């Protein structure tokens, strides 16, 4: 297999994580039908609401997009700094899905993936790490929705 074929397979696999699937639902589906009031609710015995989780993942998506654009965003000194207030739910959700689509496209770009960041780390490694982070928190959102009795979403889906 050629290097470009390998890059294409990598890009498709990692890129799909920013959308969701094939082993899990898509982000759009995980957030489907979730109204602002419910997105802001934190279930008993769980630490975060769906909106807080999306705001956290969006914080890091924006950080990665800035890094990939050659900017040098500051890395928070403490974990709490990566948990911004969610703000308007509709705006947050739209921005989140837009930026996830951008990252998916970046993961499918072999030249961008081969490029190095300022520490000499290939962008492919960053995209993979952030994709894993994103999917981890998507699972938490499903659990939050389950705890609130809001799963599956209106379009249906697995209940396990």
Which CATH number do you get for residue 52? 1.20.120.450
Q: How far apart are CA 78 and CA 81, in angstroms?
A: 6
Q: How far apart are CA 89 and CA 67, in angstroms?
A: 25
Identify whether 159 is part of a domain: no
pLDDT computed for residue 42 by the predictor? 98
Identify whether 129 is part of a domain: yes
Query: Domain residues for 93?
Result: 7-147
For 89-136, write each residue's pLDDT tens digit: 999 999 999 999 999 999 999 899 988 988 899 999 999 999 999 999
pLDDT computed for residue 136 by the predictor? 94
Q: How far apart are CA 6 and CA 61, in angstroms?
A: 25
Q: What are the structure tokens assigned to 28, written together? A: 């759009």
The verdict on whether omega for the bond into residue 22 sits within 30 degrees of 0, i.e. cis, is: yes
Identify whether 142 is part of a domain: yes
pLDDT computed for residue 160 by the predictor? 56
Low-confidence ranges of the chain (pLDDT < 70): 1-7, 21-23, 158-160
pLDDT computed for residue 9 by the predictor? 74
- Cβ-count burial of 145 within 10 angstroms (0-12 exposed, 13-18 middle, 19+ buried)? buried
């Amino acid at each position: 297999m050629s290097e470009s074929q390998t890059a294409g397979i990598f890009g498709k696999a990692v890129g799909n994580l920013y959308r969701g699937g094939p082993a899990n639902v898509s982000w759009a589906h995980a957030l489907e039908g979730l109204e602002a009031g419910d997105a802001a609710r934190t279930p008993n015995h769980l630490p975060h609401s769906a909106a807080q989780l999306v705001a956290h993942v969006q914080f890091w998506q924006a950080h990665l997009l800035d890094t990939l654009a050659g900017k040098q965003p500051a890395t928070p000194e403490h974990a709490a700094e990566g948990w911004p207030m969610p703000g308007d739910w509709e705006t947050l959700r739209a921005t989140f899905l837009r930026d996830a689509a951008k990252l998916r496209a970046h993961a499918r770009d072999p030249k961008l993936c081969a490029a190095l960041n300022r520490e000499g780390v290939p962008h492919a490694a960053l995209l993979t790490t952030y994709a894993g982070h994103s999917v981890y928190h998507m699972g938490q959102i499903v659990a939050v929705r389950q705890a609130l009795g809001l799963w599956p979403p209106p379009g249906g889906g697995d209940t396990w």
